[in-house]
Structure 1
Amino acid sequence: MDVLSDAVAAMRNGRAHSSRTRFTAPWGVRFAPFAGAGFHVVLQGTCWVLPTRGEPVRLGVGDLVLLPHGRAHGLADAPTTPLRDAGDPGSLPPAPPPDGDPAATVLLCGAYLLDRARPHPLLTELPEVVHLSSRVGAHPELRTVLDLLGAELDHPREGSTGIVPALLDTLLLYALRAWHEEQARHRTATGWARALRDPAVAASLRAIHRDPAHPWTVASLGAVAGLSRSPFARRFTALVGRPPLAYLTWWRMTLAAQLLRADDRPVARVAEQVGYTSEYAFSKAFRRAYDTSPGRYRRAPS
Structure 2
Amino acid sequence: MDVVSDAISTVRTGRPSSNRVRVSGGWATRLDPYEGAGFHVVLEGACLLFPEGGEPVRLGTGDAVLLPHGTGHLLADVRADAASLERAVPFEDWRPDGPAHHPASEAGAVELLCGKYRLDRSRAHPLMRELPTVAHLPNRVGRHPELRSAIDLLGGELGGLRPGAGIAVPSLLDLLFVYMIRSWMAEDGTGVWSAALGDPVTATALRALHADPAAPWTNESLAAEVGVSRPTLARRFTALVGRPPMAYLTWWRLTAAAALLRDTPDPLAAIARRVGYGTPYAFSHAFNREFGTTPGRYREHGAAPA
TM-score, L = length of structure 1: 0.92
Alignment of 1:43-122 (within 5 A): 43-78=43-78, 80-81=81-82, 82-83=84-85, 84-87=88-91, 95-99=98-102, 100=104, 101-122=106-127
Instruction: Kindly state the Cα deviation for residue 290 of structure 1 after the two structures are TM-superposed.
Output: 2.1
Matched, 1:27 2:27: yes
Look up the SS of the partner of 1:196 in the other structure: helix
Contact (CA 8 Å) 1:30, 1:74: kept in 2 or not?
A: yes
Residue identity opposite 1:236 in structure 2: F
Look up the SS of the partner of 2:113 in the other structure: strand
Partner of 2:205: 204
- Provide the rounded CA distance (Å) in 1 between the counterparts of 2:230 and 2:96: 56
- Provide the rounded CA distance (Å) in 1 between the counterparts of 2:97 and 2:283: 48
* Superposed CA offset, 1:7-37 (max 9, x none): 1111011000101112223221121000000
Residue identity opposite 1:67 in structure 2: L
- Provide the rounded CA distance (Å) in 2 between the counterparts of 1:152 and 1:72: 27
Look up the SS of the partner of 1:42 in the other structure: strand
Look up the SS of the partner of 2:30 in the other structure: strand
- Provide the rounded CA distance (Å) in 1 between the counterparts of 2:154 and 2:55: 29
Alignment of 1:155-194 (within 5 A): 155-184=160-189, 189-194=190-195
Residue identity opposite 1:199 in structure 2: P
Contact (CA 8 Å) 1:236, 1:244: kept in 2 or not?
A: yes
Residue identity opposite 2:100 in structure 1: P
Residue identity opposite 1:31 in structure 2: L
- Provide the rounded CA distance (Å) in 2 between the counterparts of 1:91 and 1:177: 31
* Superposed CA offset, 1:262-302 (max 9, x none): 44433222212111113222111101222211122222247
Q: 1:128 to 1:262 in 2, by over 3 A?
A: closer
Contact (CA 8 Å) 2:151, 2:176: kept in 1 or not?
A: yes
Range with greater deviation from structure 2 (107-116 or 25-34): 25-34
Instruction: Kindly state the Cα deviation for residue 93 of structure 1 after the two structures are TM-superposed.
Output: 6.2
Unaligned runs of 5+ in 1: none
Matched, 1:286 2:287: yes
Instruction: Kindly state the Cα deviation for residue 77 of structure 1 after the two structures are TM-superposed.
Output: 1.7
Contact (CA 8 Å) 1:22, 1:96: kept in 2 or not?
A: yes
Contact (CA 8 Å) 2:39, 2:67: kept in 1 or not?
A: yes
* Superposed CA offset, 1:133-176 (max 9, x none): 11111111111111111111112211001100000000000111
Partner of 2:155: 150
Residue identity opposite 2:98 in structure 1: A
Contact (CA 8 Å) 1:190, 1:239: kept in 2 or not?
A: no
RMSD: 2.0
- Provide the rounded CA distance (Å) in 2 between the counterparts of 1:50 and 1:158: 37
Q: 1:93 to 1:221 in 2, by over 3 A?
A: farther
Tell me the matched-pair count.
297
Look up the SS of the partner of 2:34 in the other structure: coil
- Provide the rounded CA distance (Å) in 1 between the counterparts of 2:152 and 2:250: 40
- Provide the rounded CA distance (Å) in 2 between the counterparts of 1:220 and 1:192: 23
Residue identity opposite 2:240 in structure 1: L
Look up the SS of the partner of 1:106 in the other structure: strand
Partner of 2:222: 221
TM-score, L = length of structure 2: 0.91
Contact (CA 8 Å) 1:19, 1:93: kept in 2 or not?
A: no
Instruction: Kindly state the Cα deviation for residue 85 of structure 1 after the two structures are TM-superposed.
Output: 3.9
Q: 1:141 to 1:94 in 2, by over 3 A?
A: farther
Residue identity opposite 1:64 in structure 2: A
Aligned residue among 126, 129, 135 for 2:134: 129
Instruction: Kindly state the Cα deviation for residue 98 of structure 1 after the two structures are TM-superposed.
Output: 4.3
Partner of 1:299: 300
Partner of 1:5: 5
Look up the SS of the partner of 1:111 in the other structure: strand
Look up the SS of the partner of 1:19 in the other structure: strand
Contact (CA 8 Å) 1:20, 1:94: kept in 2 or not?
A: no
Partner of 1:36: 36
